[in-house]
C-alpha cells in the first residue's frame, strides 16, 4: 500500500519573544521541514504577513508575557482566513483569551503535539474534508472544526460523530448506537455511551450544557439536529457517501 506523503502547509510565521523559559519551536519545526520565519513582536509579524502571505501564524504568547489578543484581532482584520495557533502557559490561563484563535495550546507540551495540531489545521482544507454547514470534518485525521475552534477526536468519538452525520435528523436508540460503535451485544450499561456523548458535545456544541446539535430523545436515544448546523451559505444538509466502519477501529 502506498503511503501518502504529508504536505507542509505553506509558509508559517512564528511570533516568539525573548522572555521564554521553554525551548524555541523555530528550530524544531524547521528541522521537520516546515517553511517558517520568526519575528519577535506582533507588529513585525503583521509586516511579515504582508510580505510572505503565510498559511499559518504561531503566536508564542507565553514568551511574550501577554495573551496577544490585539495581535490576533489585527491579523484577522488583515487576513480573515489566516489560521492562528496560540500558545499560552499557566500564567495566562486565567486571562481573557481571544476566541479568534483557531487552536489554543497550553504549555508544557512536546513539539510533536504542535505538529499534530498543525496537521489538523491543514487537513480541514484538503479534499478529504467534509463540510456540513458550520461544521467541517476530516475523517482521515479525525479533525473537527466548528464555532471557530478545531478539535482532534479520539477514534471512538470520531465513529460516534460519523454515525450521527450518516443519519441526520434520525433518532438512534441507545442500544443501536452502543452495538455499532463498540461492536458488542452487551448493552446493559449505557454509562459509557452517556460519557462519550458528553465528550462529543464538548467538541461540537457552543454550549455543551444546552445542546442544539446532539439532542437527547428522552427514554429512546439521541439524534443530530441538522438545522442547527446550517448557516447562511448552506440551506440544506449535504449528502456524502457513508463512512466506512472497520471493526478493527472499534476498540475502546
User: CB neighbours of 182 closer than 8 A, spacing ≥ 6?
Assistant: 192, 250, 252
Residues 136 and 239 in one domain: yes
Measured between alpha carbons, how far is 157 from 110 in angstroms, rounded to an integer? 24
| pLDDT tens, position by position, 161-181 | 999 999 999 999 999 999 999
The last residue of a domain, from among 88, 123, 158: 123
pTM for the predicted model, two decimal places:
0.78
| pLDDT tens, position by position, 46-82 | 999 989 999 999 999 999 999 999 999 999 999 999 9
Residues 86 and 164 in one domain: no
Alpha-carbon distance values, 20 to 14, 61, 103 (Å): 14, 9, 20
Measured between alpha carbons, how far is 27 from 13 in angstroms, rounded to an integer? 13
State the pLDDT confidence band at 20, using cuts at 50, 70 and 90. Answer: confident
Residue 160's domain spans which residues? 130-249
Residues 176 and 107 in one domain: no
Residue 109: all three cell numbers together: 507540551
Measured between alpha carbons, how far is 8 from 226 in angstroms, rounded to an integer? 33
Q: Is residue 182 part of a domain?
A: yes
Amino acid at each position: 500500500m502506498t503511503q501518502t506523503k504529508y504536505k507542509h502547509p505553506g509558509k508559517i510565521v512564528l511570533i516568539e519573544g525573548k522572555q521564554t523559559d521553554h525551548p524555541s519551536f523555530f528550530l524544531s519545526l524547521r528541522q521537520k521541514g516546515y517553511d517558517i520565519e520568526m519575528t519577535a513582536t506582533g507588529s513585525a509579524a503583521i509586516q511579515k504577513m504582508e510580505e510572505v502571505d503565510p498559511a499559518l501564524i504561531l503566536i508564542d504568547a507565553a514568551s511574550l508575557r501577554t495573551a496577544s489578543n490585539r495581535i490576533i484581532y489585527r491579523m484577522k482584520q488583515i487576513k480573515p482566513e489566516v489560521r492562528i495557533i496560540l500558545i499560552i502557559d499557566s500564567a495566562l490561563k486565567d486571562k481573557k483569551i481571544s476566541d479568534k484563535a483557531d487552536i489554543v495550546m497550553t504549555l508544557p507540551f512536546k513539539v510533536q503535539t504542535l505538529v499534530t495540531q498543525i496537521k489538523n489545521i491543514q487537513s480541514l482544507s484538503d479534499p478529504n474534508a467534509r463540510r456540513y454547514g458550520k461544521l467541517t470534518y476530516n475523517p482521515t485525521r479525525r479533525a473537527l472544526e466548528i464555532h471557530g475552534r478545531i478539535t482532534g477526536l479520539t477514534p471512538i468519538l470520531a465513529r460516534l460523530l460519523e454515525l450521527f452525520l450518516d443519519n441526520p435528523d434520525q433518532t438512534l436508540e441507545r442500544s443501536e448506537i452502543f452495538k455499532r460503535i463498540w461492536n458488542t451485544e452487551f448493552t446493559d450499561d449505557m454509562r459509557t455511551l452517556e460519557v462519550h456523548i458528553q465528550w462529543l458535545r464538548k467538541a461540537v456544541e457552543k454550549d455543551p450544557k444546552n445542546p442544539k446539535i446532539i439532542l437527547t430523545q428522552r427514554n429512546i436515544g439521541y439524534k443530530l439536529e441538522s438545522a442547527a448546523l446550517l448557516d447562511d451559505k448552506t440551506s440544506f444538509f449535504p449528502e456524502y457517501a457513508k463512512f466506512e466502519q472497520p471493526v478493527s477501529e472499534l476498540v475502546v
